[in-house]
Chains A and B, each alone.
Chain A
Amino acid sequence: MDEKPLYEGCLTVAGGNFDNAGEVSASIKTILKKMGLPSDVVRKAALVTYESEINIVSYARRGMIRLHVVPGSIMIEAIDEGPGIPDIELAMQPGYSTASPRIREMGFGAGMGLCNIKSFSDMFKISSEVGRGTYLKMIIKTNRDPLNS
């Protein structure tokens, strides 16, 4: 990741705002599409961003999503200020969720968000500090470089 980035950007996500949820992932999708990246890669990047965005909206006070594209890969980081996750192993289990009834009513909180992020990413890292927030790092490999296409 020390090569000169092809794209670098940072977008903020407000906690609790379900109405605008999905805007960051939609922007990221547009940016990556314009760069000429393959559609399956763009879709995966948009989906991991969407799940991260929903997590920030559902649980955190605020957060940001950073996009960093270099030849060969896309890195997405989701950083939030929120309650943090006390037991990451438990949170990674399919079906485990601490979502409120309000969140569940909208069809979120199935306990599959982090599993989806893991399965759509080529590399996924999560760390969290209770009372401070959560950090997600996702890397998606791009088999075709936008510069060479």
Chain B
Amino acid sequence: MDLESIVKAFDLRIRSGEDKLKAEIRGGYTGDLLSDVIGNSKEGDIWITRQVHQNIVAVASLKEHAGIILVQGCEPAKDTLDKAIKEGVPILVSDLSAFELTGRIYNFIKPLPTARR
């Protein structure tokens, strides 16, 4: 499953990383606490959050996430967007809540349990 299929299936608005949409999605993680995301997400995950400040780009880049989806229609802050463009991190925007989007994407990609990845 690539990021582009998720963008299309959930009408995500692309804010950065248009050229990285072929990235393979292995699973996902939902959270707003950065250390929780650092400790528990995996590379190739799609990260669902409503944090919009620029540190999300550093975290996604360090963890080698496939991309970030901002929920509730939240737009990335300008610094965040500049940094995401510079570092080639896809930022996508959804109008859904984190709960609803996570559930839908989970059913769509049916990831293997984290322990087995």
Contacts and interface: CB of A to CB of B under 8 A. Distances in A.
A13 to B, nearest CB: 13
Contacts of A47: 38, 62-63
The A interface is mostly helix, strand or loop, or mixed, namely helix
A147 interface: no
Nearest to B51: A107
Interface in B24-61: 32-36, 38-39, 43, 49, 51, 53-59, 61
A132 to B, nearest CB: 25
B64 interface: yes
B interface secondary structure, majority: helix
B63 A43 contact: yes
B33 A107 contact: yes
A80 B61 CA distance: 25
A50 B36 CA distance: 13
Interface in A70-127: 106-108, 110-113, 115-116, 119
B79 interface: yes
Interface residues of A, number: 23
Given A112-B39, A115-B39, A119-B39, A107 B58 contact: no
Interface in A3-49: 18-19, 21-22, 25-26, 29, 43, 46-47
A110 B62 contact: no
A106 B35 contact: no
Contacts of A22: 55, 57-59, 61-62
A130 to B, nearest CB: 23
Contacts of A50: 38, 58-59, 62
A19 B35 CA distance: 17
Contact of B62 (A29, A111, A112, A113): A29
A22 B54 CA distance: 10
A19 B79 contact: yes
Contacts of B54: 19
A51 B38 contact: yes
B62 A106 contact: no
Interface in B64-114: 64, 79
A140 to B, nearest CB: 14
B86 to A, nearest CB: 11
B39 A116 contact: yes
B55 A21 contact: yes
Given A106-B51, A106-B53, A107-B51, A116 B62 contact: no
